[in-house]
Amino acid sequence: MKKWARAAAGAASVLLTAVGVACVALRLPAETGGRAATAAAGFIIPAGNTDGFFSEDEEDGSISSVSSAAPSSAAPSSSRSASGGAQSSQASSIPAPSVSGSHKFLELSVGNSGTQVGNMWVKNATEHHTSVNFSQELQKAPAVKIKKDASPQVLIYHTHTTESYDFSERTTDKSKSVCAVGDEIAKQLESAGIGVVHDTTYHDYPAYNGSYDRSKTTIQNDLKKYPGIQVTLDIHRDAMHRSDGTFLKTTSVIGGKKASQLMIIAGCDDDGSLGFPDWEYNLRLALRLQKALSDTYPGLARPLNFCARKYNENLTKGSLLIEVGTDANTLDESKYTGQLLGKTLAQVLNGLT
């Protein structure tokens, strides 16, 4: 993903107010009744604070109806938000950054913002689908039917294959990139009897521009080779920085162990210009997965991002893009999240046979 663009201080203040950058409540990790605990230093950017937080824009080559309101040169796009939702009514002071080598970072948990749906949260970043009833969509069945016959049912791939962790932007070592996270997801699905293809083709190396066009070709080739595939997962890692260069590290404590927070992105055709019919089916799968994660591992998932972008999710009715951690998270934290995500997805898919 691209290098950060620095916004002017005044623009940052206006932007942060507009998109409602927020996290919630400083709290300590705790285990209750054996359930997973969330650990986080949460905070809200106070109104008028010009030392803002910016998240990379996930460019997919499409032009959405909301793109002019959130230009990638200065702000989070509809697919990326430093908070995932609206401001909380309770603010706390921003903690001082920690230091790792030459890098400053803030460790936090992002959650409880946007639209609450039961025990989970959804950020609606669209202009024309603001009236979508997420509770009703959650009750509708996704267009996914899993066969337990060892044939491939899930495709895992990476549009930005070289994205990495531990303050490293990119690597071609697949044991240290998002490919290692994909491996963990695949192991859990396979152990649950669900066939998986993990395609680690490079799409952002040696050239970054055109990554989504190249991953589209990969998906189409895999779907042709394995026509039984029901679900496609584009696994990325996010990156969020303050305007002073401080990294944001999003974590949750699950079973006494740190895990990178993840974010599910479900795109839609906001104004009919993207050639993206049937996006509702992807949203229904995303909501089921978000709910299952919230039920089983509270705090692991940031608010689901429902946005006006395509991300090749138009190629099947079971396509999702998932961000696992940020560039400040460790590889081990992110691989652990891959395990938890894989287990949860297996539970969801085993209910769709």
Give the number of residues written for the chain.
353
pLDDT of 111 reads 84
Domain residue extents for the chain: 9-350
pLDDT of 87 reads 32
- Token representation of residue 335: 């691989």
Q: What's the CA gap between 302 and 324, in Å, rounded? A: 10
Taking the CA atoms of 257, 83, 233 and 210 in sequence, report the sign of the dihedral they define: negative
pLDDT tens for each residue of the chain, 353 residues long = 434 333 443 344 333 333 333 332 222 222 333 333 333 333 422 222 223 444 444 565 543 332 222 222 222 322 333 333 333 333 345 677 888 889 999 999 998 889 999 999 999 998 889 889 999 999 999 999 999 898 999 999 999 999 999 999 999 999 999 999 999 999 999 999 999 999 999 999 999 999 999 999 999 999 999 999 999 999 999 999 998 999 999 999 999 999 999 999 998 988 888 888 889 999 999 999 999 999 999 999 999 999 989 999 999 999 999 999 999 999 999 999 999 999 999 999 999 98
CATH of range 9-350; options 3.90.1150.10, 3.40.50.2000, 3.40.50.300, 3.40.630.40: 3.40.630.40
- For residue 46, cis peptide bond before it (omega within 30 degrees of 0): no
149, with CB counted inside 10 A (0-12, 13-18, 19+), is: exposed
